[in-house]
Structure 1
Amino acid sequence: MATSDISSPYYGMTDAQLTAALTSAQQAYIQLRMGSKVVTVSYAQGGGSRSATFQQTDMANLRMLIAELQQALNPGVCIRRRRPMKPLF
């Protein structure tokens, strides 16, 4: 298993399942960037399957999904979000 964190939603998935889900999410992101209106991402986990539908306004959520899948595949690598920008006066 790629992730050993029991609280992770990806716990129990094999490396092949995580890689397939990551590839699907990245393809969905590319389709959204190219102008497709709605994209569906689905993957199998344990006894069932899960799916999510993204629209153009959900690009940030899709980027977070990709980052989470990358973190699950590479648990030693820390992916940090950009800190919020604050205006300077």
Structure 2
Amino acid sequence: MIDTSSGILAGMTEAQLRAALATAQKAYIDLQIGQKVVSVSYAQGNGSRSITYQPTDLPQITALIQAIQRQLGIGSSRRAVSFLYR
């Protein structure tokens, strides 16, 4: 069940959450395999432009992915742990 009433993801629709999850997972994979762009420079008709992307921490992306998954109810089932004493 999606809880859209609280947290940083409050107000997002299920479609928006799923799109955000896919984006975060792609960013995580890109960082893991070294495919993230850090700086891009290009020329336009009215001059040159430069965009710098800050590398994001893998733990921060992991936390975001887990928060979105919890919001969507993905992977939130917890198995009870039981011990058998003899």
Give the TM-score of the pair, scaled to structure 2. 0.60
Q: Closer, same or farther in 2 for the Cα pair 1:36/1:15, shift >3 Å?
A: same
Point out 4+ residue stretches in structure 1 off by more than 3 angstroms: none
Alpha-carbon distance in 2 for matches of 1:75, 1:33: 22
Shift of 1:77: 1.9
Aligned length: 64
Deviation readout 1:63-86 (Å, 9 max, x if unpaired): 11100110111189268xxxxxxx
Q: Which has the larger radius of gyration?
A: 2
**Counterpart of 2:45?**
none
CA RMSD in angstroms, aligned pairs only:
2.9
Identity of aligned residues (%): 41
Bigger relative CO (Cα 8 Å, ≥ 6 apart): 2
Report the TM-score, using the length of structure 1 for normalisation: 0.58
Question: What residue ranges of structure 1 are gaps of 5+ in the alignment?
Answer: 40-52, 80-89
